[in-house]
Amino acid sequence: MSPWIRVTVVGAMLLGLAACGGDKKESTDNAAEAQKAIQQGMQKEKALMEGMQKGVENIEKKATEESKK
């Protein structure tokens, strides 16, 4: 193997290792952002379900009032 090929291979390996190792903080930040987005989505879904439940209760209440008349 010529010296230039060795230098190129070693350089590529070092760049590859450097690219893999530097993402820990970024991946932690991404995981925190994802968790926050999931929690916000769950809160919105819960509010939607509560609103739907209140709507059903109101319809049932109106239906019982109408049937009593």
DSSP 3-14: HHHHHHHHHHHH
Task: Write b or e for each residue in 32-41: b if 16 or more Cβ atoms lie within 10 A of its Cβ, otherwise e.
Answer: eeeeeeeeee
Q: What is the pLDDT along the chain (69 residues), one digit of tens a residue?
A: 577 777 788 777 777 766 666 566 777 888 889 999 999 999 999 999 999 999 999 999 999 988 886
Give, in degrees to the nearest 5, the angle at Cα 48 between 52 and 50.
55
Q: Is residue 13 part of a domain?
A: no
- Residue 2 domain-assigned? no
pLDDT of residue 23: 60
Phi, psi of 45 (to 5 degrees): -65, -40
Domain that holds residue 39: 32-69
The CB-based long-range contact list for 53-62 (8 Å cut-off, 24+ gap) reads: none
Does some domain include residue 16? no
Record the pTM: 0.53
Residue 55 is assigned to a structural domain of this protein: yes
Number of domains in the chain: 1
Q: Is residue 22 part of a domain?
A: no
